[in-house]
């Protein structure tokens, strides 16, 4: 079996996977974006389809979390015909337990679990006792206590005992992402440590009972890309599953850095997979290969549907709270509300940028407003191209610094484009991830207003947990979007 890598390109960190009736379902983190927690499905670990999201209604996740808060590190499991997902709504509702009878949903409203920590895992012992194992990061106390565990009543959302400390790794920083598995006579505790940056790694211990005591593997960490020249870095935050042909697989996050010192990961943390083999009672993991899918990926939305596709995202608001698909037939209509892209709740609807070589184009009608196309990491880091009010303006916003380029434009209909491409004419070793071009297509002729260094819109510079999200916005009045077209490749 040839496994493409990344499995889920673009902003898809903290993967958790479960196998049910020969199908695989995978969830990832979404932080401040809504709908929250996408669910992907596959039968072969080659082709994945997003079939829904967990948090699709107001109130399931908090909508006022600060940047980097929100849905952290879901664990997806299945038992007795029910899908279970536990997750942290960081700086929001806290640790939550969601259920559904179908992976695509609808999912429950989410029951608070009452634990003081993040990255919850859910496992059951033979008599049905439920265990939540978690990374004990306390926002209230401002400290990290390592890996802890409690027995819980999932129906009542009630912790049944004081938390106990489990094995917390080898002493590297920030033990997190614990997952507990039963295999043969052992319970295995898999976790990440070393931080989610270049030191990220995977370690494991085992015990005879789910609550320990745990003995570490003879060698830990079992997997890390730190201090190597591997093309996939930051490898960690993983989950184990048996693949379609019975071999063991490890899904995990990683980044694809570029630049002279490979310092800039434009797309943020993505989902990858690698193989595992059990040797003398311990899993051994292969280094994570880079195996991008060949060819060109295309996506187009003509906004003819009555509902938003599950890939569309809003910032702290659902897409249907931000735009209308029915107000004007065949258009997405965005009505400005006084916010801008600098604000925490902009009128912005986007989708993950999945390739560093990519081009997104929209056709907009700006007769009644000002708006356009943007690629963002957060409210302080984005590039945009907008039209209306007599001008077309390209804008780069970088941690409080703003630069603008403008040309006059008195018409009302035009195409706006954002293109990410490899650097050219910068010597044999480019010092950046990519170059981002902001352009307008007027009367069939394209004008590039700005060509911006892509390194500033990367995970390392923005220090964001998310990734590039590209989409439409309205800054003033009403903007109508005729279509959105995306084309990308890993060339």
Q: Concatenate the DSSP letters of all residues of 98-152 into one string.
A: EEESSTTS-----EE---S-EEEEEEE-TT--EEEEEEEEETTTTEEEEEEEEEE
Q: Given this model, what pLDDT does residue 396 score?
A: 98
Q: Is 460 a catalytic residue?
A: no
Q: Given this model, what pLDDT does residue 140 score?
A: 81
The Cα–Cα gap between 24 and 76 comes to 11
- pTM value is 0.97
Q: Given this model, what pLDDT does residue 375 score?
A: 98
Three-state DSSP class for residue 464: coil
Do residues 355 and 258 make contact, with C-beta atoms less than 8 angstroms apart? no
- Of 148, 176, 378, 386, the active-site residue reads 176
Q: Given this model, what pLDDT does residue 372 score?
A: 98
Q: Which two tokens stand for residue 328?
A: 């004007």
Cα–Cα distances (Å) from 2 to 7, 49, 235, 428, in that order, read 11, 18, 20, 32
Domain architecture of the chain: domains with CATH: 16-285 (2.115.10.20), 297-489 (2.60.120.200)
Q: Given this model, what pLDDT does residue 333 score?
A: 98
Tens-digit pLDDT profile for the chain (491 aa)? Answer: 589 999 999 999 999 999 999 999 999 999 999 999 999 999 999 999 999 999 999 999 999 999 999 999 999 999 999 999 999 999 999 999 999 999 999 999 999 999 999 999 999 999 999 999 999 998 888 889 999 999 999 999 999 999 999 999 999 999 999 999 999 999 999 999 999 999 999 999 999 999 999 999 999 999 999 999 999 999 999 999 999 999 999 999 999 999 989 999 999 999 999 999 999 999 999 999 999 999 999 999 999 999 999 999 999 999 999 999 999 999 999 999 999 999 999 999 999 999 999 999 999 999 999 999 999 999 999 999 999 999 999 999 999 899 999 999 999 999 999 999 998 766 677 889 999 999 999 989 999 999 999 999 999 999 999 999 999 999 999 999 999 999 999 97
Q: Is 425 a catalytic residue?
A: no
Q: Residue 476, class by beta-carbon neighbours within 10 Å (0-12 exposed, 13-18 middle, 19+ buried)?
A: middle
Q: Given this model, what pLDDT does residue 205 score?
A: 98
Q: Please give the distance of CA 145 from its chain centroid, rounded to a whole number.
A: 26
Q: Given this model, what pLDDT does residue 139 score?
A: 84
Question: Who's near 280: CB < 8 A, 6+ residues apart?
Answer: none
């Amino acid at each position: 079996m040839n496994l493409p890598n990344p499995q889920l390109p673009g902003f898809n960190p903290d993967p958790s996977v479960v196998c049910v009736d020969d199908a695989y379902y995978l969830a990832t983190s979404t932080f401040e974006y809504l709908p929250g927690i996408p669910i992907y499905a596959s039968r072969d670990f080659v082709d994945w389809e997003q079939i829904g999201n967990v948090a699709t209604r107001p109130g399931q996740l908090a909508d006022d979390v600060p940047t980097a808060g929100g849905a952290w590190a879901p664990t997806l499991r299945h038992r007795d015909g029910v899908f279970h997902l536990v997750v942290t709504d960081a700086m929001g509702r806290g640790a939550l337990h969601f259920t559904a009878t179908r992976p695509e949903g609808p999912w429950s409203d989410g029951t608070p679990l009452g634990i003081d920590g993040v990255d919850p895992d859910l496992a059951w012992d033979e008599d049905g006792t439920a265990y939540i194992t978690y990374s004990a990061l306390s926002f209230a106390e401002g400290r990290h206590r390592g890996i802890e565990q409690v027995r819980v009543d999932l129906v009542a959302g009630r912790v049944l005992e004081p938390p106990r400390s489990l094995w917390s790794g080898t002493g590297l920083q920030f033990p997190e992402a614990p997952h507990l598995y039963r295999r043969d006579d052992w319970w295995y505790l898999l976790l990440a440590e070393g931080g989610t940056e270049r030191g990220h790694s995977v370690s494991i211990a085992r015990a005879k009972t789910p609550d320990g005591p745990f003995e570490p593997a003879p060698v830990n960490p079992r997997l890390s890309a730190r201090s190597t020249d591997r093309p996939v870095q930051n490898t960690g935050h993983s989950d184990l599953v048996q693949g379609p042909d019975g071999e063991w697989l490890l899904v995990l996050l990683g980044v694809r850095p570029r630049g002279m010192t490979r310092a800039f990961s434009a797309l943020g943390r993505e989902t990858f997979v690698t193989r595992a083999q059990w040797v003398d009672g311990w899993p051994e993991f292969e280094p994570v290969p880079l195996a991008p899918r060949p060819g060109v990926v295309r996506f187009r939305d003509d906004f003819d549907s009555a509902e938003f596709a599950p890939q569309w995202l809003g910032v702290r608001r659902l897409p249907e709270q931000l735009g209308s698909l029915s107000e004007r037939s065949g258009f997405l209509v965005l009505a400005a509300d006084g916010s801008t892209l600098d604000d925490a709740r902009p009128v912005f609807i986007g989708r993950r940028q999945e390739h560093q070589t990519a081009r997104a184009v929209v056709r907009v009608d700006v007769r009644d407003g000002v708006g356009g196309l943007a690629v963002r990491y957060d409210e302080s880091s984005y590039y945009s191209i907008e039209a209306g009010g007599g001008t077309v303006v390209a804008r780069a916003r970088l941690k409080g610094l703003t630069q603008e380029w403008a040309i006059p434009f008195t018409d009302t209909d035009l195409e706006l484009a954002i293109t990410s491409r490899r650097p050219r004419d910068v010597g044999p070793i480019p010092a950046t991830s990519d170059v981002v071009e902001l352009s307008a297509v007027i009367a069939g002729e394209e004008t590039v207003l700005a060509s911006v260094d892509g390194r500033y819109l990367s995970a390392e510079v923005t220090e964001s947990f998310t990734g590039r999200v590209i989409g439409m916005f309205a800054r003033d009045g009403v903007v109508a979007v005729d279509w959105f077209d995306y084309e990308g490749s890993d060339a």
